[in-house]
Amino acid sequence: MNRNVLKIKENVYWIGARDWNRRIFDALIPLPKGTSYNAYLIIGNKSKALIDTVNPGFEEELEEKIRSLIPLEDLDYVIMNHAEPDHAGAIPYIMKIASKAKLITSNKGAKMAQIYYNIPQERIIIIKDNDTISLGDKTLRFIEAPMLHWPETIFTYLEEDGILFPCDFFGAHLANGIYSDEIEDYLVHAQRYWGEIMMPFRIMAQKALEKIANLNINIIAPSHGPIHRRPEIILNAYERWAYGETNQKVTIAYVSMWNNTDTMVKQIADTLLSEGIEVTFHNLVVADIGDIAKDLVDSRAIVLGAPTVLGGAHPLAVYATYLLKALRPPIKFAIILSSYGWGGGAIRQIQEILNGFKIDIVGTLEINGPPTEENIQQIIKIAKDLAKKIKEG
């Protein structure tokens, strides 16, 4: 057995790859701790199945790990829980060698397997919700979980061992670690990952959580980050996040050119803190958008600080507002603050971007130049109004 293969249960192995140095995902999401591409091999007494593969570039590592357990040519099934290349990218490599293996996927996954990976139709088995296949002494049940993370996504459940393989769901972008309960700040990473990837699909997440509620789950083995051998911890967190449980917390995201918007948002922060509200503070010039996504998961309000530049809102504030709308956090309230040099318009533009996003804008203030004492008093009032609304829930 390859020294870096991990036995999870009898005849169930982690054979994934750790990408320690990856720093960006989807050309969007920073990965401060790298990530892993978890693949799993299940060896039944009649058939053998590979669950997901690895990112392009790690094919040979995956092959070596499989070969340390079984001849790759003996593989019967490749289960494609999800077609995104970080998990399915090595499927053509594996299936070329494992020439008798069939690809198992959903109806939508079958189309993607042909488009992305040129898998011929005759090598694809399409499964529906709750279908099973037997590997002899091990049975795999498939659960359709659309939009978690793409429309074709399925979960695979190994009945005899109570192991759920949910692909992206319940994951974290961490290259290190084997079991999540061994990592002190695991939930911080999981929350960040939820905010970046799963939060826009909260309704679908609720449906998936309902679907798996009656399964006897001993282990959750996701496709990124460590494995959950105490699944209740991540299940409880996902219940909170999927149903949009928020805290008395405000995320402040702003940019400032000459410290005027900066002064305004800092006054908001100080007033909110004095009202007992938790505040997280992100200067968009240096902010990590993954950190902002993490804070949006359980914040009840957002404060956007957007100065006017070149006749509109500063591009970094536009970007942050667009992301806010795209990530669809359970935020209920907002404040928008702005300072301009000789002509305003930033707040109007931010509001236009937010059009269609259900949010109660508690207050706005657009000022010319540095805030006056009167402006500071206006800001304090807006902050107190927000604090009141946050406390009322």
What are the residues binding ligand FEO (CB under 6 A)?
82, 84, 86-87, 149, 168, 223-224
Determine the Cα–Cα distance for residues 219 and 49; give it in Å rounded to an integer: 18
Nearest distance in Å: CB 226, ligand FEO: 15
Q: Which is nearer to ligand FEO, 102 or 149 (CB)?
A: 149
Query: Judging by DSSP bridges, how do beta strands 6-9 and 24-25 pair with one another?
Result: unpaired
Nearest distance in Å: CB 84, ligand FEO: 4
Q: Which is nearer to ligand FEO, 82 or 282 (CB)?
A: 82
Determine the Cα–Cα distance for residues 239 and 22; give it in Å rounded to an integer: 29
Identify residue 360 by its one-letter amino acid code. Answer: D
Nearest distance in Å: CB 366, ligand FEO: 40
Q: Which is nearer to ligand FEO, 13 or 169 (CB)?
A: 169
Place of tokens 């040519």: 73
Q: Which is nearer to ligand FEO, 151 or 244 (CB)?
A: 151
Place of tokens 């040129």: 118
Place of tokens 């053509």: 92
**Three-state DSSP class for residue 165:** strand
Nearest distance in Å: CB 215, ligand FEO: 22
Nearest distance in Å: CB 288, ligand FEO: 19
Query: Judging by DSSP bridges, how do beta strands 249-254 and 278-283 pair with one another?
Result: parallel
Q: Which is nearer to ligand FEO, 83 or 119 (CB)?
A: 83
With CA atoms as reference, report the closest residue to 108 among 82, 87, 132: 82
Q: Cβ–Cβ contacts within 10 Å for residue 286, how many?
A: 6
